A = this chain, B = another copy of it.
Amino acid sequence: MDNYFKIAVSVDCVIFGFDDNVLKVLLIKCNLPEFANKWSLLGDLVRPEEDLDSASYRILKERTGLDDVYLEQVHTFGALERHPKGRVISTAFYSLVNIKHHQLKLDDNELHWHPVNEISEMAFDHKLILETCYERMQQKIREEPIAFNLIEKKFSLRELQNLYEAILGLKLDRRNFRKKFFLTGLLIDTHELEKDVPHRPGRLYRFNKSKYIKLKKNYFGIDF
């Protein structure tokens, strides 16, 4: 079997954040001369003693200081020439973090939050990995309320709609959006109002996670 230990295994993390009404991704300057001045995803080789999830959590912890984040494995990329130093396959994860929660730890100059829609070139096949993870995430927020991981615990419906619009790249109808969310029964009214906003303060809500978990158990999906 020795002949087969010729492929290295890595993980790459697409770390999404939401800031200033824009969906962003955390990138790092690539230090390989082949990709001078290009940005890359945060990733690392998997250590022999850690599984794939542990490797991703390690990278997230090292780079953002966060250790309780939403993480989902998406796809493994194994093209022959994807890494200039040799054969490396990479399992891609995406993660959703609240930018405000870890801003303090982010004093590493090499790191930068990029607006997802403004990224053209990247190192390796990381543009493809980013796109694949972004598509999966767009699909997922239509099915499950994962977007709440990206914002503060208390939010206005305006903020929530801005978030969905930024992720889906669509303009949504305000009344329809609100109606749909109220119908899910997953919003808890905090009876508080926004503060220090340049518009009429909106009411603040919380996401009813425990109710969602209960509903999910009873969900049978298909409507045949």
Contacts and interface: CB of A to CB of B under 8 A. Distances in A.
A76 B52 contact: yes
A142 B222 contact: yes
A76 B180 CA distance: 35
Which has the most chain B C-beta neighbours within 10 Å: A6, A47, A168, A170?
Answer: A6
Contacts of A222: 142, 168, 170
Given A4-B46, A50-B80, 8 more contacts: A1-B85, A5-B6, A7-B7, A49-B80, A52-B89, A73-B76, A89-B91, A168-B222
Contact of A46 (B8, B51, B52, B78): B78
A48 B87 contact: yes
A70 interface: no
Contacts of A5: 5-8
A177 interface: yes
Copies of this chain, whole number = 2
Given A5-B6, A9-B7, A85-B1, A180 B78 contact: no
A219 interface: no
Contacts of A9: 4, 7, 9, 78, 89
Contact of A224 (B3, B45, B176): B176
Interface string A31-53: 00000000000000111111111
A51 B80 contact: yes
Given A224-B170, A224-B172, A1 B8 contact: yes
Interface size class of A (residues with CB under 8 A): 35 or more
Give the one of A8, A80, A142 with max B CB within 10 A.
A8
Contacts of A3: 48
A8 B2 CA distance: 9
Nearest to A142: B222
Among A47, A89, A177, the one with the most B-chain Cβ atoms within 10 Å of its Cβ is: A89
Nearest to A7: B9
Interface centre among A7, A50, A87, A177 (most CB of B within 10 A): A7
A177 B6 CA distance: 51
A75 interface: yes
Top 9 closest pairs, chain A to chain B, by CB = A52-B78, A6-B48, A76-B76, A4-B45, A5-B5, A7-B9, A4-B8, A51-B78, A172-B224
